Structure 1
Amino acid sequence: MACLCVRVMRHSFSLVALAKVERASPRWLCTSTMQKDGVRSEEKAEKPEQSAAEKVLAEKTQLEEQLKDMTDKYKRALADTENLRTRHRGMIEDAKLYGIQGFCKDLLEVADILEKATESVPKEEVTSQNPHLKNLYDGLVMTEAQIQKVFTKHGLVKLSPDGQMFDPYEHHALFHAPFEGKEPGTVAVVTKVGYKLHERVLRPAAVGVAKAP
């Protein structure tokens, strides 16, 4: 009988201990689960922050590239504009200097006719005994001098290179022939004078060049 009572008491104590453990276990499990959930929440909170920082960095890089591209385009446009302005300025200066080039070419024929007319008059006939011829000759000389004065005023200069070294940029060689007393390579005969407009050859002089015998 005594042994039976002892067994019953031991069994009761075991049941009581087990009940205490079962009552304590859910609280421990809840605490552990809450801790794990807290860590996951922190990880989830860190991930959005990291992704936002990466997004901002990507946007910054993109904006820097766009700024660099726009700066490069601006510099190129500025250089193109400056080159265009310089080109237009040069064109305007050329137009001011050489805008009368076509008009001058037409007047050169008039100057040539006046020069030929004065050269064709016999000098011995230009006397007071022949007043009509003398007046005509004097008028031609004065007209030729006046037209040359106008040419000089507008930058048109006559080229009469008799005795000068032949220059292919200013002279047009019609023939080469030996000339006594002329150095080879020099202009021996000028058949038609040339003209230069502001350092630009408007018409080369037609010449004959001396060569070695």
Structure 2
Amino acid sequence: MSDENAASGEMPEVEIPVEETNEGIESIDPTAALRTENAELKDRVLRTVAEMENLRKRTEREINDTRSYAIAGFARDMLSATDALSRALITLPAETRETGDATTKSLIEGIELAEREMQRLLAKHGVKPIEAQGEKFDPHVHQAMFEVPDPSQPEGTVVQVVQPGFLIGDRVLRPAMVGVAKGGPSHAPASEAVDKSA
């Protein structure tokens, strides 16, 4: 069966076997013709079933992706608001927290509560922070902002997190902006560590 016939829905052209009789006149074998037509139709049905199954799987995948990642833009915007609350808390001097009047302390507690609630809501919708501090630099989830000369840390280790990163599902929503150690021993996989004392 040609693919053009299958795509257009036309009946395929069927080659009908013929037999030559003693007189040289050709006759059509009806059983062979039916078998050929049956094989063609069976092939067509199997192809259609396979196409429908592929379409079902693809649609299911697209629906799951849409459910998981539809809020990515909104979540990215919410991270900006959460960052602003975090910066507000960081800039407050410690003595203001302890010696401030009741109104100031209530304001600080309200900001902390709002930040925690926003983090909780992001986590509820699949947004989770990227672990960066002390990890080996991974360009897929980290964005290097600067290098820190630190011989005590293995080269390529994240030693400072400037801005936390986040994932939504298994995709990067925002990479972690980090400072990376330079000058220390390089990361060596455990399989390459060789005991040279023997």
Instruction: Indicate the TM-score class for this superposition, using the shorter chain for normalisation.
Output: 0.7 to 0.9
Equivalent residue, structure 2, for 1:175: 146
Mark the CA change 1:102 to 1:134 in structure 2 (over 3 Å): closer, same or farther.
same
Q: 1:141 aligns with which of 84, 102, 112?
A: 112
Equivalent residue, structure 1, for 2:165: 194
Post-superposition shift, 1:160? 4.6
Equivalent residue, structure 2, for 1:112: 83
Q: Distance in 1 between matches of 2:124 and 2:100?
A: 37
Equivalent residue, structure 2, for 1:131: 102
Q: Summarize the alignment of residues 73-92 of structure 1 with structure 2, pairs less than 5 Å apart.
A: 73-92=44-63
Q: Summarize the alignment of residues 149-160 of structure 1 with structure 2, pairs less than 5 Å apart.
A: 149-160=120-131
Unaligned regions of 5+ residues in structure 1, if any?
A: 1-48
Q: Distance in 2 between matches of 1:182 and 1:133?
A: 41
Deviations 1:58-85 (A, max 9, x none): x333332222122111111111110110
Contact 1:160/1:190 (8 A) holds in 2:
no
Q: Distance in 2 between matches of 1:50 and 1:122?
A: 111
Q: Distance in 2 between matches of 1:210 and 1:117?
A: 28
Structure with a larger share of its residues in helix: 1
Unaligned regions of 5+ residues in structure 2, if any?
A: 1-20, 185-198
Q: Which has the larger radius of gyration?
A: 1
Q: Distance in 2 between matches of 1:135 and 1:180?
A: 44
Post-superposition shift, 1:54? 5.9
Post-superposition shift, 1:128? 4.6
Q: Which amino acid aligns with 1:133?
A: T
Matched, 1:63 2:63: no
Contact 1:176/1:211 (8 A) holds in 2:
yes
Contact 2:156/2:182 (8 A) holds in 1:
yes
Equivalent residue, structure 2, for 1:3: none
Give the % identical residues.
34
Secondary structure, counterpart of 1:208 in structure 2: strand
Q: Which amino acid aligns with 2:155?
A: P
Deviations 1:114-140 (A, max 9, x none): 111111111111125433322221111
Secondary structure, counterpart of 1:114 in structure 2: helix
Contact 2:151/2:182 (8 A) holds in 1:
no
Post-superposition shift, 1:92? 1.1
Tell me which stretches of 4 or more aligned residues in structure 1 moved more than 3 Å. none
Relative to the length of structure 1, the TM-score reads 0.69
Q: Distance in 1 between matches of 2:142 and 2:80?
A: 18
Cα RMSD between the aligned structures? 2.2
Equivalent residue, structure 1, for 2:191: none
